[in-house]
Structure 1
């Protein structure tokens, strides 16, 4: 660089320092997405020097951290003074209640909170923040996949599962997965400037960061459906939300006759598989109306309807209003937004 020339990616502040608390069987993907965003923002090109960003991996005893897929992160340090970091990110793992709670890690999180260091719960790391008593009367973002677990284990907590992450000041919670890259870019932009965040995202083959309020992908249908044939059929229908799969094909795929498939669906769910499939695609359409900016035509196509009039006719029959009317109501002040978990289906109670 010539003397006096401005850097390509001007920094708007001091370097960003992040401490990672890696819990037992932590989830690798959100960790990798988050730390790689920092790595790429830290230096020119892909040189990976910790210049503008600094990160430290920590475990309770300083041992290597083994992820849920078996890949290990090493070296890790024992817990450092929380004041060394701008943020402490805790990354949880598989939610197995047989696993011992890492009381040392929870104590460290409480120490960091007392030192007023912002805490980030990434993926199931939010469970650790709750266990440490640090999420009382706080909004709490969780993946739709772990929503049921959180409600069951922590009934006093009201989880939010219709967005990617929530910045609540000194508590930030993130659904995990690819949303970890969005959150990391959000923090990089806050501390170093938009250019550095965009540099990271572009090298990671991401166009731009999604905002925290961006909707999570729609939840799949699941519930207490014990009939294996019906469960397999529903799994196939979930994979074909964008098309109207014929009942003959569905029956063949699950290894039964159409007649038996019809009978089993009516016994378990009270409706035939064809109506269930159409209702499922319509419910998906409702979710897309509320949580995406897609046009009515795009939504109809994505839900497997031949054309917009066909989609709108079935939509009105099911919900008593047109798709555009429902979207308008939802956008009005005080308008009710659909519960993202209304897609879930459970079997009929036994008589």
Structure 2
């Protein structure tokens, strides 16, 4: 096992994980128990599990040799994800000390009730036994609801940052990293970041080669460190205004086929004037200008980091054609997309 980094060595867990005392030749080097909240995010769960699955076997036969994992439940009833697909738990909660980590996978903010008392007791038993707890997606919300994040840094999605502050006063959630490791609490923002957090655990307990193997098979180039910024909106568009956040998310979801401010307002149930007023107060700009900034920021990223043609990037970012993109790009960045790409290659 590698030495903990300075990021996770603020203090040691209160109790030694009994499983860690076992000789590793007695079984898998990494064992994970999952608790799935109702309406959990399937993508975040699947990414985490697949890293474990691919790292567990020497080949690609999915045998749980080096890692094992199981979905836990107090009732054994199927758990429905936010996309409607259900997962059947495999084991009852039992003794948390049989796992190296307990992972709580959250989901939709508005449709996720608190976990039941059986889960509360189970998570507290795990914490008391020194079993590290992991919050994936909105799993951090559940860990804090049961009082197990007090005094810890935690990672939340940039889009749920204000929700966390509103519900859990006094905490300072981190919304500009893909995951956070603080002693025996690990949290990530969901999506592909759960794969990187799982790879971090595989690297730590099984080996770097197994972690890299998993990510490469999943067509993920390399493991990202915790400090890697979350993808999302340009920094100058970050705000805690919920109306502006929702509008920005709608824009982001329609970046290749731009929608009008009127359409955004209709989908949100607000008036166009309300949207414009909130943008002006929160960002000192108009919704139209913010949407253009978002599209140009993506275009800049694609020009710098990919080999896509300028014409294709124009389509991907919702511009009429490459000439339209070039005019807007030059107005914003003082250079044409082609010249910007050439200068980026020279610098690298």
| Bin of the TM-score, shorter chain as denominator length | 0.5 to 0.7
Q: What is the aligned length? A: 283
CA distance in structure 2 between the aligned counterparts of 1:120 and 1:312, rounded to whole angstroms? 41
Q: CA deviation at 1:65?
A: 2.3
- Given that 2:153 and 2:180 are in contact with CA atoms closer than 8 Å, whether structure 1 keeps it comes out as yes
Unaligned runs of 5+ in 2: 1-24, 266-270, 306-313, 319-324, 335-348
Measure how far apart 1:111 and its partner are: 0.7
Choose 1 or 2 for highest CA Rg.
1
Shift of 1:132: 1.2
- Say whether the 8 Å CA contact 2:114–2:145 is kept in structure 1: no
- The answer on 1:32 being equivalent to 2:46 is yes
Check if 1:107 corresponds to 2:121: yes
Describe how 1:199-210 pairs up with structure 2 within 5 A.
199-210=213-224
CA distance 1:28–1:218, shift in 2 (3 Å): same
Q: What is the Cα deviation at residue 21 of structure 1?
A: 1.2
CA distance in 2, matches of 1:265, 1:24: 32
2:58 is matched with 44
1:156 equivalenced with 2:177 (yes/no):
no
TM-score for the superposition, normalised by structure 2: 0.67
For 1:11-37, what per-residue CA distance to the aligned partner results, in whole angstroms no more than 9, with x for missing partners?
9x9611111112222211111100111
Q: Which moved more, 1:214-223 or 1:142-151?
A: 214-223
Secondary structure of the 2:150 match is coil
1:211-222 paired onto structure 2 within 5 Å: 211-219=225-233
Label 1:192 to 1:126 Cα distance change in 2 as closer, same or farther (>3 A). same
Among candidates 100, 105, 124, match of residue 91 of structure 1: 105
Query: How large is the Cα RMSD of the aligned pairs?
Result: 4.2
Matches within 5 A, 1:147-296: 147-219=161-233, 223=241, 225=243, 238=252, 250=260, 276-278=287-289, 281-282=292-293
Structure 1 162/269 Cα, relative in aligned 2: closer, same or farther at 3 Å?
Answer: closer
Q: Which residue of 2 aligns with 1:137?
A: 151
Distance in 2 between residues matched to 1:69 and 1:265, nearest whole Å: 29
Distance 1:185 1:98, change over 3 A: closer
Distance in 1 between residues matched to 2:274 and 2:110, nearest whole Å: 33
Q: Does the CA contact (< 8 Å) of 2:32 and 2:102 recur in 1?
A: yes
2:85 pairs with 1:71: yes
- Give the TM-score of the pair, scaled to structure 1: 0.66
Listed as ranges, the gaps of 5+ residues in structure 1 are 1-10, 256-260, 296-300, 314-351
**Structure 1 residue 156 displacement after superposition:** 1.8
